[in-house]
């Protein structure tokens, strides 16, 4: 029997590795930025075109590479950070497996320019699909510039799986945030399609957070700091009142490496227990420093998961540290039975003996004693004010007596008739159907064949969805003006999302006065929306758009209508009176599709009389 096992060619092996390392353009951005950090760069510039599908270019001023190193960097498992197996458990760098550049070069056109400080001439290498097209000496600046063009050009199936440009751009921005937050001592710039997105100077952690997420973030931050033998925790958490429904501003860094850990996230959430509303998530920027030998970061291809030796102790330390910071800065109530009484006394009075207060009382004052003075005399204020009250009724008796008593009684008019709550007289037959509300969630209405049960939240969603979709399409929305403009502070990525859908939002009833870099000013909102809920509606809209934005204009309008209907619909648990129930039912059956919600969930069910009779057999 002939042998059937054979070694894979290098270009096939590189493409298989690329499937693990490079999932989308954001993966390329992550690997190239981390390589620049490992090269000891202090300035890094990221240039992106067409959401990274056309170009991803990273330029740094690091130590650079020699011609030999530049050529070897594209070989599989070629790295300068690992020499022995023990080095895998004592890592101080980002990339260490030597697969990033080889995987990227297998599925794109890559151009590398690099020069060290000791040489005057650098190296330029061009690779297409793992094949070195050219390598030559060239005059370049100190450092390294890597340009990745036409990603997945030789794997069309992988390219078809990429999302729309706005979605891929947001993934790139997320990776940029993670690297930039972990290294505030490095200056970063980012350009997308020729326009500047970020320009972050060298700073500290707090300034870097504010530069990325806006100046309003500064007042939301609560510092966290604790150092133990096991772990050193630093960073910031957001105040509980700024908790959001989406998990946006949540960052864990272990030894300056971004990680995802549901276990540690639970530790932070438990520290906020009782301080945030149900369904909202606290924000945090937490940096953990542990011994490199106590963690294993090679358990996932993207290196975003870490295995700790003693994760239970780190969980307890993290939870206690966050809870202590919230109490220390008066965010959470603290019970301290050993409080120092000296802190309760002002400094100026700390050395003075207490003196009993003195009160002067006029013991001779009597308001009922006759006299003209205020001391010992009678109080005449009421008498002065009530003087001349008889003149108000002069002539009233004569006018009333001039009319006979029976006629005077008939001329008396009441301010209002008795309120009975009936639109028609009692003798007329009521033709309106009787509806009931069950558990403030369902509307039960009798029909000829039995009864109908309507889910009030889903029904209102359907009504609002068709109304918003019609307004966006016809561009004839009704807006209610605000007496005072409503200002909402948002992060730069969220503002960019709203800026792209501003025209569609105006067709739903929103009116914007100002779109600055850190906040928006709203002068009008859709009819039926409270100004106190406008921020929550826009936040829900941003979250929905961030998940997926289609390219087609109609699909975007459909997404906007669904998101706003979901946010503005009456919630389950809201009590409705008879008129409100009947109005909702009438509006529901005036819709084109009254039986399903915008998400194709059933809105109503009918119970036939025969089904009810079977229950009693």
Q: May I ask the CATH architecture of the domain 442-605? A: 2-Layer Sandwich (3.30)
580-603 average pLDDT score: 88
User: Is pLDDT of 244 > 50?
Assistant: yes
456-475 average pLDDT score: 85
Higher pLDDT, 447 or 33: 33
CATH 3.30.230.10 fits 208-328, yes or no: yes
Handedness of CA 238, 240, 246, 251 (dihedral sign): positive
Q: How far is CA 274 from the centre of its chain?
A: 20
pLDDT value of position 405: 56
565-589 average pLDDT score: 87
pTM of the model: 0.67
Q: How would residue 433 be classed by pLDDT, with cut points 50, 70 and 90? A: low
Least confident stretch, 115-119, 366-370, 520-524:
366-370
pLDDT digits (tens, 9 = 90+) for 157-189: 888 888 888 888 888 998 999 999 999 999 999
pLDDT value of position 548: 59
Q: Which residues pair with 257 in a beta bridge?
A: 254
DSSP annotation of 520? E
612-616 average pLDDT score: 83
Non-local (6+) Cβ contacts of 131 within 8 A are 11
User: Is pLDDT of 549 > 60?
Assistant: no
The Cα 296–Cα 291 span in angstroms is 11
Higher pLDDT, 422 or 474: 474
* Maximum Cα interatomic distance, the chain, rounded to a whole number of Å: 133
Which two structure tokens, joined as six digits, stand for 211? 């530069």
CA-CA-CA-CA dihedral for 335, 337, 341, 345, to nearest 10: 20
pLDDT digits (tens, 9 = 90+) for 274-283: 888 887 888 9
CB 171 within 8 A of CB 24: yes
The residues spanned by each domain of the chain are 10-200, 208-328, 442-605
The Cα 528–Cα 568 span in angstroms is 8
pLDDT digits (tens, 9 = 90+) for 478-529: 778 888 888 887 777 778 788 878 888 888 888 888 777 677 888 888 877 7
pLDDT digits (tens, 9 = 90+) for 551-564: 444 467 787 888 88
Which two structure tokens, joined as six digits, stand for 592? 């084109």
Least confident stretch, 228-237, 277-286, 375-384:
375-384
pLDDT digits (tens, 9 = 90+) for 51-62: 999 999 999 999
Least confident stretch, 37-41, 261-265, 368-372, 522-526:
368-372
Q: How would residue 430 be classed by pLDDT, with cut points 50, 70 and 90? A: very low
Hey, is 577 helix, strand or coil?
coil
Non-local (6+) Cβ contacts of 233 within 8 A are 224, 225, 226, 227, 286, 287, 288, 317, 318, 321
Q: How would residue 541 be classed by pLDDT, with cut points 50, 70 and 90? A: confident
pLDDT value of position 402: 59
At residue 252, what are phi and psi to the nearest 5 degrees? Answer: -115, 135
Q: Which residues pair with 132 in a beta bridge?
A: 127
79 to 62, 75, 132: CA distances (angstroms): 17, 9, 19
One-letter-per-residue 3-state SS of 193-257: CCEEEEEECCCCHHHHHHHHHCHHHHHHEEEEEEECCCCEEEEEEECHHHCECCCCCEEEEECCE
User: Is pLDDT of 469 > 60?
Assistant: yes
pLDDT value of position 57: 94
CATH number of the domain located at residue range(s) 10-200 in this protein: 3.30.565.10
Mean pLDDT of the chain: 80
pLDDT value of position 33: 92
CB 599 within 8 A of CB 471: no
CB 67 within 8 A of CB 121: no
């Amino acid at each position: 029997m002939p042998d059937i096992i054979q070694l894979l060619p290098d270009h096939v092996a590189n493409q298989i590795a690329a499937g693990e390392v490079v999932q989308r353009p954001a993966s390329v951005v992550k690997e190239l930025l981390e390589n620049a950090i490992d090269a000891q760069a202090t300035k890094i510039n990221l240039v992106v075109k067409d959401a990274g599908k056309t170009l991803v270019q990273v330029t740094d001023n690091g130590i650079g590479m020699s011609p030999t190193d530049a050529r070897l960097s594209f070989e599989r498992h070629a790295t300068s950070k690992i020499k022995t197996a023990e080095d895998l458990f004592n890592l101080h760098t980002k990339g260490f497996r030597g697969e990033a550049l080889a995987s990227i070069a297998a599925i794109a056109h890559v151009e590398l320019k690099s020069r060290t400080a000791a040489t005057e001439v650098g190296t330029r290498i061009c690779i297409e699909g793992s094949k070195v097209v050219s390598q030559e000496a060239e005059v370049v600046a100190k450092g390294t510039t890597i340009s990745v063009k036409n990603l997945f050009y030789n794997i069309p199936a992988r390219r078809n799986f990429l999302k729309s440009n706005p979605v891929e751009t947001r993934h790139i921005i997320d990776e940029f945030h993670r690297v930039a937050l972990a290294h505030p001592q490095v200056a970063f710039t980012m350009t997308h399609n020729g326009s500047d997105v970020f320009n972050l100077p060298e700073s500290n952690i707090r300034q870097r957070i504010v530069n990325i997420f806006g100046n309003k973030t500064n007042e939301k931050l609560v510092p966290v700091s604790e150092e133990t033998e096991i772990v050193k925790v630093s960073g910031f958490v957001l105040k509980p009142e700024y908790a959001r429904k989406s998990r946006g501003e949540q960052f864990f860094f272990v030894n300056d490496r971004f990680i995802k850990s549901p276990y540690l996230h639970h530790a932070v959430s438990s520290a906020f227990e009782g301080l945030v509303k149900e369904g909202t998530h606290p924000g945090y920027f937490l940096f953990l420093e542990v011994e490199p030998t106590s963690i294993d970061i090679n358990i996932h291809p993207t290196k975003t998961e870490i295995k700790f030796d003693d994760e239970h102790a780190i969980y307890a330390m993290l939870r206690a540290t966050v809870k202590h910071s919230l109490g220390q800065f008066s965010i959470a109530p603290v019970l301290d039975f050993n409080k120092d009484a000296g802190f309760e006394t002002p400094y100026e009075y700390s050395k003075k003996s207490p003196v009993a207060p003195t009160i002067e009382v006029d013991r001779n004052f009597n308001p009922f004693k006759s006299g003209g003075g205020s001391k010992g005399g009678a109080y005449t204020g009421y008498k002065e004010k009530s003087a001349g009250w008889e003149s108000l009724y002069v002539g009233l008796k004569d006018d009333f007596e001039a009319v006979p008593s029976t006629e005077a009684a008939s001329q008396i008019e009441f301010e209002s008739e008795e309120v009975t709550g009936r639109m028609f007289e009692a003798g007329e037959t009521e033709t309106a159907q009787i509806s009931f509300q069950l558990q403030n969630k369902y509307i039960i209405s009798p029909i000829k064949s039995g009864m109908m049960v309507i889910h009030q939240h889903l029904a209102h969603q359907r009504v609002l969805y068709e109304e918003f979709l019609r307004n966006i399409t016809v561009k004839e929305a009704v807006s209610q003006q605000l007496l005072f403009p409503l200002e909402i502070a948002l992060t730069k990525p969220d503002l960019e999302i709203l800026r792209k859908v501003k025209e569609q939002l105006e067709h739903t009833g929103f009116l914007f006065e100002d779109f600055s870099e850190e906040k928006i000013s709203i002068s009008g909102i859709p009819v039926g929306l409270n100004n106190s809920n406008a921020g929550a509606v826009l936040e829900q809209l941003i979250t929905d758009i961030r998940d997926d934005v289609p390219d087609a204009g109609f699909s975007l309008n459909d997404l906007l209508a669904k998101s706003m209907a979901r946010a503005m619909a009456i919630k389950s648990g809201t009590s409705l009176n008879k008129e409100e129930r009947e109005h909702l039912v009438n509006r529901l059956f005036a819709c084109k599709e009254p039986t399903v919600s915008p998400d194709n969930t059933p809105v109503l069910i009918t119970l036939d009389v025969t089904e009810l009779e079977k229950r009693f057999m």
